[in-house]
Structure 1
Amino acid sequence: MPRILLAEDDDSLRGFLTRALERAGYEVTSCADGDEAAAVLDQPWDLLLTDIVMPGMDGIEVARLAAQKHPGLRIMFITGFAAVALAAGESGPPGAKVLSKPIHLREIVTEVEKMMAAA
């Protein structure tokens, strides 16, 4: 079963994403912020799905650290800030996907499925 590390500081969105991805057949470990996600990066992951703007370590920092530890790791950012999304596309790890909020859960699941199939 593919493993997803989810970092999202919004409790309700984190819960919705976790349930939607688990229903789609993924094993999801959800973290409330970037620091919590960084603490479990030594485990094997198939995808990092992270918000960009979070307290403590932001999503771009988590993604850079994850890419160093796991070259080739699939990375997807979600953000509610257009300027941040643009910056993430320019400064995030190569091949990372950026989705802007608001986004429908089905769309996120579809994008995750596309990234997983591209491997």
Structure 2
Amino acid sequence: MIRILLAEDDKVMREYLTRALERSGYAVSAVDRGTAALPLIETERFDLLLTDIVMPEMDGIELAQKASAIAPDMRVMFITGFAAVTLRAGKQMPDARVLSKPFHLRDLVLEVDRMFEVEQVPSRN
């Protein structure tokens, strides 16, 4: 099962995204800030870091950079409602995906599905 670490400071959005991803078959661990995500990345394995960019204490870009140093194989997707921040994320983490708010949950799930479609295809032996 694909494991996602969600870092989102807005409680309603965090719960909303968690439910949608779990309904789509993903295992989700959710935290309310980047500083809470780092200890989990150090002790557990995640396939995807899904993080808001604008958060208190540590923004999502800094979190993603630190997370990539700890777990280089973990993929990163940013969610943000700020266009200028989207550009900065693209420059600092060029391999990451960026999903701009507002988005429909279906779009989020489709983006996550696309990131892992190779692993989700059953092998034919």
- Are 2:103 and 1:95 equivalent residues in the alignment? no
- Using the alignment, how far apart are the partners of 2:118 and 2:33 within structure 1? 27
One-letter code of the match for 2:25?
G
Note if 1:11 corresponds to 2:11. Answer: yes
What residue number does 1:22 align with? 22
Of 109-118 and 12-21, the range deviating more from structure 2: 109-118
Q: Which residue of 2 aligns with 1:111?
A: 111
Q: Which residue of 2 aligns with 1:82?
A: 83
Contact 2:3 2:46 in 1 (8 A): yes
Unaligned runs of 5+ in 1: none
> Contact 2:3/2:47 (CA < 8 Å) preserved in 1?
yes
Aligned in 2, Cα 1:102/1:45: closer, same or farther, shift over 3 Å? same
Letter of the structure 1 residue corresponding to residue 26 of structure 2? Y
Q: 1:35 corresponds to which residue?
A: 35
Regions of 4+ moved over 4 Å: none
1:54 to partner: Cα distance: 0.1
- Sequence identity percentage: 57
Cα gap change, 1:118 to 1:53, in 2 (>3 Å): farther
How far apart in 2 are the matches of 1:48 and 1:109?
14
Q: 1:116 & 1:95 partners in 2: Cα distance?
A: 14
**What TM-score does the superposition give when structure 2 sets the normalisation length?**
0.91
Aligned residues: CA RMSD: 1.0
User: Do structure 1's residue 73 and structure 2's residue 74 form an aligned pair?
Assistant: yes
Aligned to 2:123: none
Deviation readout 1:35-79 (Å, 9 max, x if unpaired): 111121111000000000000011011101111111121100000
In 1: Cα distance, 2:67 partner to 2:117 partner = 20
Tell me the number of residue pairs that the alignment of Structure 1 and Structure 2 aligns: 118
Distance in 2 separating the partners of 1:118 and 1:70:
20
What amino acid is the match of 1:102? P
